[in-house]
A and B are shown apart, each in its own frame.
Chain A
Amino acid sequence: MEFFRIRRDIPFMKNALLLNAISFLTFIAAVFFLTTRGLHLSVEFTGGTVMEVAYEQPADLESVRKVIESLGYADVPVQNFGTSRDVLLRLPVQAGKSSGQQSEAVLAALKAQNPAVELRRTEFVGPQVGQELVTNGLLALGLVIVGIMIYLAFRFEWKYAVSAIVANLHDVVIILGFFAFFQWEFSLAVLAAVLAVLGYSVNESVVIFDRIRETFRRQRKMNTQQVIDHAITSTISRTIITHGSTQAMVLSMLLFGGPTLFYFALALTIGICFGIYSSVFVGAAMAMWLGIKREDLIKTSSKTEGDPDDPNAGAVV
């Protein structure tokens, strides 16, 4: 089987300007939704109590809501979680009451209304922990960015490092934009997914850059744009297949993983889809705008200068 029967290099960079404009607009839209709507943060970040209860019959959300309101909570989100029999409640932090008391009281009230209710899980996070998680999350993001940039600058050159990071931050912002736009819950697991995407989709840029470097060495007559086109064309089948495989795994999580893994898998899905796009059109195009040249790379590996067919001349895919 062979899906990719490509005869000539596809002129990816011909439309780079247009696509970059689209990227830029998506990016702006994501930032816009992030600032206006904000992320719907889970209790892990905001502090508070989450309760998941299960009924034997499909739950009547309205009556559950009434019970909660009768306990003096206003505007408590009551929603189905996974199936129509499972209900998720979010209680805000109440001064002077421990989380245990809160969830006990709510459960007792729900039991009084319908004895068939079963407590599936509760989760309470104090406000001080939430604050810490936000800080640690940002620190982790910072560490990943700096770590990857240093590594890429060391392996390639600063222009590549900058392009790769811009491409991947573009992905991250767009994932966050999706979460802000649809008001999907942003939990710790989603944060982990975002950071994993960051590490994962840098791979993509690395593979393409590796091939760009290789092409610069082998094809001395091509100009930069042709080199990039050639590099992307020759790696595109690998790109689609690996992302397809990873996506198969993620899709399996999305379908079978239940509600706990749903948003995690969703963040990965968006990350993987935009990862392909961004490393081709954002990363490579950025590298082009930044003006990568043959000389930049040859200079850093002077050893191989005289022999473009040196088998140790770096990776090619």
Chain B
Amino acid sequence: MNRYPLWKYAIILVALLISALYALPNLFGESPAVQVSAARSTVRIEPSTVTRVEQALAAQNIQSNRIQLDANSVKARFDSTDDQLKARDALEKAFNPDPSDAGYVVALNLLPRTPSWLASLGASPMYLGLDLRGGVHFMLQVDMQAALQRRADVLATDLRTLLREKGLRHGGINRSGQTIELRAGDAQTLGAARDLIRTQFPDLQVTETADFRLVGTISPEAARRVQEQALKQNITTLHNRINELGVAEPVIQQQGADRIVVQLPGVQDTAKAKDILGRTATLEVRMVDESMEAQAASRGTGPVPFGAERYPERGGQSVVVKREVLLTGENLTDAQAGFDSQTQEAAVHLTLDAKGARVFRDVTRENVGKRMAIILFEKGRGEVVTAPVIRGEIGGGRVQISGAMTTVEANDTALLLRAGSLAAPMEIIEERTIGPSLGAENITKGFHSVLWGFIAIVVFMCLYYALFGVFSSIALGFNVLLLVSLLSMLQATLTLPGIAAMALALGMAIDSNVLINERVREELRRGASPQVAINTGYDHAWSTILDSNVTSLIAGIALLIFGSGPVRGFAVVHCLGIVTSMFSSVFFSRGVVNLWYGRQKKLKTVSIGTVWRPDAQNAAAKAD
């Protein structure tokens, strides 16, 4: 009765092999590496890049033990961190001769030393969370209200342009909050404007009021679209900014409807990271108001005229600009510092998208000789980055700002402009920095907790339950193996709470074996034959084990659903641990027991420690 059919042993063997194979990469450790990847979408990483890396390293006499090319980067491994640092400098020089215009990201990295035959099977070590490897974690909240407001602004401007083109006279268009209000003089204008909006502005829902006004609000679908786009654009912008930092494996992902999580493993210079990410800037291009009143206002000698606003300029003066927004950071695709091709003056080169290019052409054609201002809004405060004079019509979307600028200023401006192309302002709502030494310490601490707990349990089980304790311990060891290989396969992030969950999972997994062993002892105590005792022991313990694991799983799933951050890391391992423990402590340990005892037909005793019988001792007492 205690024999498994062959297929059950086969399952155990296969599970053992697969889990050993996939847990294996965790043993190899990591080697220091330098990673070269593209900083701009125009830069390609090709097989020729590998040759360039090899040449650059050879020129500096640095030995790399493996250079590999993958989807979007070239990675070179080194024996020591000294070599790694030297190689970083060499590669930085070779790939980015002009630091202000870096085409490549050259970053330090730690790569798993997984042998290639294992890597080709898709096996890789567990993915360690930031608390174990050090780095920075940010959660950013995108201000969707502001995104919608800006969208309404753009719509209002477009509407004005359209009505002017159609020659429709109206009493003014105002935006308040997220609504646009159009004042029409009479019923006829109202009707015409309404029809125009209906056909040309599908994003607006309009209602009419009694006194010939049209109130437009952004339709729900459009609002949703705006929010999605805002989030996407912000993620792209963050990607670009992070490229400036040179991080090997940044994680930038959406969380929920309006949040972005950024994780920068291994980043040491946290201040710079925070500085670059924390810039919650948006960019607007407006015309400078050059009326007499406005000029007086900019000197501070008069009130700011209606329809204009005053913003300080970098350098101390202030500029009065019109309310109307011509372009936003949304239309700006790139800003780079460089030089004017004719005068060799420092300059900033801007690239606009199609819509931006069109608007820019119209604006520059109509306003030759006037000034336009580029304003950067950071946390609600605007600052004029630059206010150049328009020299002539600029088409094609390539804009150059030059004159009275040093190279450093040009660099700063370019950086600010790039930074400004966020679709909506963001705010850091959660931030975690873990120093690299703390990360390493956390690994050691977590590992020791699991190790000593495991040893304590194994020693106790072997002493108390003898051979059955050994079986239980083997099953527990198998559980660790299963858990580690599952985590490696899923590439779920392992954090310190995750390691704690692993320890707890082992502590709870042994519960099942104790249940079984106690039950087998009890059957023996009642006088059952060893084979029967093993069989009924396992069978009857099963439903209890199932019950208790289900209740634990309920708690685990609740944590998984509602937990975030560290709790989630705990919950993932907790739930996996419960599932693997059912397999290892029941199915697997039974297999081991069957293998050992199942063949022996005339089994007289089983080694499960002392089976104490009250009546036996009573009998002995009577005999005395």
Contact = CB atoms under 8 A, between A and B. Distances in A.
Interface of A: 1-2, 5-7, 44, 52, 98-100, 103-104, 118-126, 128-129, 133, 136-137, 139-141, 143-144, 147-148, 151-152, 155, 188-189, 191-192, 195-196, 198-200, 202-203, 206-207, 210, 234, 237-238, 241-242, 244-253, 255-258, 260-261, 264-265, 268, 311, 314-317
B543 A314 contact: yes
A122 B445 contact: no
30 contacts: A7-B614, A126-B427, A141-B558, A144-B555, A188-B563, A188-B565, A189-B500, A195-B555, A199-B553, A199-B554, A203-B552, A206-B551, A207-B515, A234-B522, A245-B460, A246-B504, A247-B507, A248-B456, A249-B507, A250-B453, A250-B507, A252-B451, A261-B496, A311-B536, A311-B539, A311-B540, A316-B519, A316-B544, A317-B515, A317-B540
Contact of A315 (B437, B511, B541): B541
A256 B552 contact: no
Contacts of A316: 519, 540, 544
A315 B544 contact: yes
Nearest to B548: A203
A257 B435 contact: no
A204 B562 CA distance: 25
Interface stretch (B82-90, B164-172, B283-291, B567-575): B567-575
Given A188-B565, A245-B460, A253-B449, A196 B551 contact: no
Given A238-B515, A257-B449, A144 B539 contact: no
Interface string B415-459: 000000000000111111111011001100110111111101100
A84 B434 CA distance: 19
B441 A258 contact: yes
Interface of B: 131, 139, 141, 270-271, 274-275, 278, 427-435, 437-438, 441-442, 445-446, 448-454, 456-457, 460-461, 463-464, 496-497, 500-501, 503-504, 506-508, 510-511, 514-515, 518-519, 522, 536, 539-545, 547-548, 550-559, 561-567, 570-571, 574, 609-612, 614, 617
Given A5-B617, A195-B559, 14 more contacts: A1-B610, A100-B274, A119-B433, A119-B435, A120-B435, A192-B570, A196-B555, A199-B551, A207-B548, A246-B504, A249-B456, A252-B456, A257-B448, A265-B500
Contacts of B542: 315
A248 to B, nearest CB: 4
A188 B432 contact: no
B567 A189 contact: yes
Contacts of B437: 118, 120
Nearest to B441: A258
Contacts, number: 261
Nearest to B556: A199
B456 A133 contact: no
A126 B547 contact: no
Closest 5 CB pairs of A and B: A199-B555, A249-B507, A126-B429, A252-B453, A203-B548
B468 to A, nearest CB: 12
Given A155-B547, A210-B547, A315-B541, A5 B612 contact: yes
Contacts of B435: 118-121
Contacts of B274: 98, 100, 104
B552 A200 contact: yes
A265 B63 CA distance: 47
A203 B275 CA distance: 50
Query: At the interface, is chain A mostly helix, strand, loop or mixed?
Result: helix
A242 B511 contact: yes
Contacts of A188: 563, 565-567
A128 B501 CA distance: 28
A246 B543 contact: no
B572 to A, nearest CB: 11
A188 B570 CA distance: 10
Contacts of B508: 200, 246
A191 B567 contact: yes
Contacts of B432: 121-124
Given A121-B434, A189-B570, A203-B551, A210 B543 contact: yes
Contact of A317 (B464, B501, B544): B544
Nearest to A126: B429
Most chain B CB atoms below 10 A, which of A123, A137, A242: A242
B504 A196 contact: yes
A251 B554 CA distance: 25
